[in-house]
């Protein structure tokens, strides 16, 4: 791996550190600063697709309207970099914690396509998913890594 790839991987790791901290702190500006203008997201929460900054910002605003605390606990990302493009993947524990301490959270899968734009890495595509049972179609929220 080249020195440039090592530096790019470190910069991308920092994006995910900032992303999870901003989400937990309900810092909408901090979250949105990490996305490209033409972000496409396949979030675990419907609709099927969010297209563009305005669409995804409105989704994040709805998510942050709850009084509950966000749970955003990503595992260490696996990152591949080639030129101005990168992909990353990791498991992440996501959900909400109520004021009484009860949680509604599960492990999910996440993958990312990032692009270097104007010398800065930005998230251009993200995909979250929850596995489901093939036989009955039920989401498998209880799986552990």
Mean pLDDT of the chain: 94
In this predicted structure, which of 15-19, 36-40, 126-130, 132-136 has the lowest mean pLDDT?
A: 132-136
Q: Is the pTM of this model over 0.85?
A: yes
Number of Cβ atoms within 10 Å of the Cβ of 116: 16
The pLDDT tens digits of the residues spanning 17-59 come to 999 999 999 999 999 999 999 999 999 888 999 999 999 999 9
CB atoms within 10 A of CB 117: 12
**Cβ atoms within 10 Å of 82's Cβ, excluding its own:** 9
- All domains in the chain, ordered by first residue: 3-129 (3.10.450.50)
Cα–Cα distance for residue pair 89/114, rounded to 1 Å = 11
Pairing type for strands 35-42 and 78-82 reads unpaired
Cα four-point dihedral sign 63, 26, 73, 37: positive
């Amino acid at each position: 791996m080249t020195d440039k790839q090592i530096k790019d991987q470190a910069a991308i790791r920092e994006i995910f550190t900032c992303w999870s901290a901003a989400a937990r702190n309900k810092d909408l500006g901090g979250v949105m600063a990490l996305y490209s203008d033409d972000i496409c997201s396949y979030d675990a929460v419907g609709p099927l697709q969010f297209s563009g900054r305005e669409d995804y910002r409105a989704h994040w605003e709805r998510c942050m309207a709850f009084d509950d605390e966000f749970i955003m606990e990503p595992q260490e990302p696996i990152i591949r970099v080639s030129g101005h493009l990168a992909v990353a993947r990791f498991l992440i524990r996501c959900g909400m914690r109520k004021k009484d301490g009860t949680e509604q959270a599960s492990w999910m899968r996440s993958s990312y396509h990032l692009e270097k734009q104007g010398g800065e890495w930005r998230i251009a595509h993200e995909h979250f998913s929850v596995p489901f049972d093939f036989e009955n179609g039920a989401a498998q929220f209880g799986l552990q890594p």
